[in-house]
Each structure stands twice: as structure tokens, then as C-alpha cells.
Amino acid sequence: MACRAAEADGSFYRLPASVPPDSGNHTPLHPDQPDNSKVLKVAIIGAPNAGKSTLSNQLLGRKVFAVSKKVHTTRSRALGVLTENDTQIILLDTPGLTTPSKVKRHQLEKSMLVDPWNTVKEPLISCVALFLFVVMVDVADRWTCNRLDFEVLKCLAQHPNIPAILVLNKVDLVKAKDKLLDLTAELTCGIVNGQKMRVRLMVKPRWAKKRPERDSELSPDEDNARHEGSAEPSSVLSKEQLKALRSQQGWPSFKDVFMFSSTDREDVDTLKSYLMVAAKPGPWQYHSEVLTDQSPEEVCTSIIREKLLEHLPQEVPYSLTQTVEFWRDGEGGELDISVKLYAMKDSHVRMVIGTAGQLVARIAHEVSKDLSQVYLREVRLKLSVKLRK
Ligand SMILES: Nc1nc2c(ncn2[C@@H]2O[C@H](COP(=O)(O)OP(=O)(O)OP(=O)(O)O)[C@@H](O)[C@H]2O)c(=O)[nH]1
Ligand SMILES: [Mg+2]
């Protein structure tokens, strides 16, 4: 990657999307926080396809995470960083929580089984009070919408000290809006913020108009006092607890509930304000210009994966591997990238290439377009595919 993080005189290159890895010749971008800096670390968790990456992109205002209608688009956890005024929100986009059997069935990486907490333990998290779970449920999926995924419940039960909010996503796809009330009751066991169903029954929640008072809705001060400096936030669940969780439909300890559509700008702004208000005094982790901890190459390969998922049957993209062959600045200021895809089967090579090479050209074009928006410059991607011998 050609860009350097910092000039010798201390001034920074503008790195619109990525932070270069803190290794090799790169100098990391050190946080440039103000004296009264605030921070909130948000892990977005949920079943595959709930809309976690869509929400992360929308909150960031720029697409840095791959999104697709197929499950398991996100393969490893990545951070997005949203910095406004004195506040930094660190968003953790996680792979859909999954089980060992699904990992085997979908040829997923074993790392996808890892609890999101463990993936970010240190240095990201030093204090539970600065952390929040956003649990996303796809309310348009009628098979799964009325109960929390077991893996999600397990994650919440293992970290009972971390505040959690429930986001009922994709409400734009639900025709009978009154159904959302029943769903909320089921997914919260009828209890929100320690009280019996304090959920507002409007499709546009009241928060859309009125921002919550700081500390009053999300994590009361007494919670913070209790959680501050908590050394071991996670607990191992006993067999009995796991058994009880299996029969549990919802989680009775959500601080708040949002009825939401990630594609609605107003909804996203409302949630963003909520997170900003929920941030607590603390040091920033990243320079204000950083948008993600993914390297530019990682952003590129994950967007290639997104397009492959979009255009090909699931089993093809899941078995392809990618190698970035070169990444350089072109003479006209554009970014020239070459990526080689390796397939396990000859038939997969032919499918990726498509009739007369049309599909691979289309994917390269679409990825170039997306990356131009990410890097705010013209991107020319050369994509080729080869059989792995
Ligand atoms: N109509 C509608 N579609 C949405 C909304 N949010 C997300 N989607 C779509 O849902 C699909 C899945 O979105 P993703 O963001 O990839 O979901 P994810 O939870 O990150 O999925 P995994 O990474 O596979 O776990 C995509 O096709 C999105 O465009 C929403 O609010 N409304
Ligand atoms: Mg995702």
C-alpha cells in the first residue's frame, strides 16, 4: 500500500477509509482527542443476515463493510470508527453468531465461532461501562424473528454486566406493524430497562423526535459504578443455565428497544444520536480520520466477496480464495489494483468468468465503483480467476 500514515512533519495524510496496519514501515495514526473526549464501544451482534454490516456502514456514512442478501457475508470481526466533535463510537461489526455444525456445513472459518467479547478484549475494552451490545433481529424473517438466536442469548448471558439494546431491524418490510409489539414482548420477555414493557408502540419511535437524556435511558450511573473496572466481564455458563437459555425466547435485560430500518436515514440518525449521548468520558482509541481497522486490501477483498456472493451460488464464493497481486498509484492519481481469485474446481472458474468473460468484468466494475466511494478517488480493479492446483 503506497500511502503512509504520517508525514515527517507530523501532518497526516488523509486516509478516508482505512488505517494502515500498525506494522512494517507504517506509523499508526495516534488519537487526536480533545481534553473532554468521550467514547463508546459498540458490538453489533445478531443472527446471520440481520443487517449488522448495513447498520455499521450507515452509521459510518461510508461503505467499509461488505453487505449481501446471503448469510455469512462477514467472515471476521472488523471495527468501524465514528468520530464526531468530542465523541468516538467504535463499532464492532461481527460475523453472524453461529454454531460448530454450521461452521462445518458452510465451510466457515473457525474464528467465526469466537465470542465477540473475546475478539475485542484488549486493548479495545478496558472498562465494561464503555461497552454496549446492539442486538439486531431481522423482523422480516418470519422463521426467526420471534425468538433470539441461542448464540445471541448465550453471549448476553455470559456478559450480563454489559448493557444491551434491542434493534428490530427491517421494519420497512413488515406490512402489519402491530406485529412489532408482539415481537417486542417476546424478544424482551415483556421487560425493558427493568420495567414491564416500557416500549413505545409507534413505528417511528419517540426517540426520533426527542433525544434520550444522558445516562437516564441507556446505562444509569449506578450501573456504571457497579461495572467500572470490572476485571472479568464474562462468565462461564453452567449446564443448567444453558438448558434454561435454550427454552428462553427473549432477554429480559434490554435497556431499550428500537423499531428500525437500516435503510431509513432518519432511523439511523436517531440511533446515532442515542449512541453519542450514551458515550462516556474516556480516551479515544483512534485518530479522528480513521474509519476502520481493516487494511485497504481487506476492504477490497471483502467487497469482492460481497459481489461474488451477489452474483454466484453460495458454494462458489465460499470456496474461493483471493490474492492481491499489486496495489499501486496510477499516473493520473487513480488506484490500480490487481486481484487473483483461486477456485477449487474448474467449473467454478468457468462460472466466475461467465459467458465471454462478462461476469468477472462486471464484478470488477462494480467493486471499482464501490472502492472509488470508499477511497474518494478513481479505482481500477483487474480481476482474474485461476484453478488452484
Ligand atoms: N429492506 C431492508 N433490508 C435490509 C435492512 N437492513 C439490511 N438489509 C438487507 O439485509 C441483507 C443482509 O444485510 P447485512 O448487513 O449483510 O447482514 P449481516 O447481519 O451483516 O449479515 P452476515 O454478515 O451474513 O451475518 C442485505 O441484503 C441488506 O441490504 C433494512 O432495514 N431493510
Ligand atoms: Mg455482516
From first to last of its 389 residues, what are the pLDDT tens digits of the chain? 333 333 333 333 334 556 544 433 444 567 888 999 999 999 999 988 999 999 999 999 999 999 998 877 877 778 999 999 999 999 998 887 655 555 565 555 555 555 555 544 443 445 666 899 999 999 999 888 999 988 889 889 988 889 999 999 999 999 998 899 999 999 999 999 998 875 554 445 444 444 444 333 444 343 443 444 443 445 678 899 899 889 899 999 999 999 999 999 999 999 999 999 999 999 998 999 899 999 999 999 999 999 999 999 988 988 899 999 999 999 999 999 999 999 999 999 999 999 999 999 999 999 999 999 988 899 999 999 999 88
Q: What are 301's strand-pairing partners?
A: none
CB 15 within 8 A of CB 290: yes
Helix/strand/coil for 157: helix
Pairing state between β 131-138 and 38-46: parallel
CB 119 within 8 A of CB 99: no
Give the cell for residue 341.
Answer: 481469485
Give the domain ranges of the chain.
38-281, 296-387
Using CA atoms, how far apart are residues 50 and 141, in angstroms rounded to an integer?
9
Q: Within 6 Å (CB) of ligand 1, which residues are found?
A: 46, 48-54, 67-69, 71-74, 95-96, 169-170, 172-173, 261-263
CB 50 within 8 A of CB 136: yes
Mutating to test ligand 1, I would choose from 44, 53, 54 the residue with most ligand atoms within 8 A of its C-beta, which is 54
Number of H helices, E strands in the chain: 12, 12
Task: Confirm whether 38-281 and 296-387 share one CATH topology.
Answer: no
pTM of this structure: 0.81
Using CA atoms, how far apart are residues 280 and 228, in angstroms rounded to an integer?
11
Q: Kindly report the protein residue whose alpha carbon is nearest to atom 30 of ligand 1.
A: 170
Q: Order of strands, edge to edge, in the sheet holding 335-343?
A: 321-329, 335-343, 379-387
Is the CATH number 3.30.565.10 carried by domain 38-281? no
Distances (CA, A) of 169 to 22, 47, 87, 134: 35, 12, 25, 11
Q: Please state which architecture CATH assigns to domain 296-387.
A: 2-Layer Sandwich (3.30)
Longest dimension (CA), the chain: 65
CB 367 within 8 A of CB 341: no
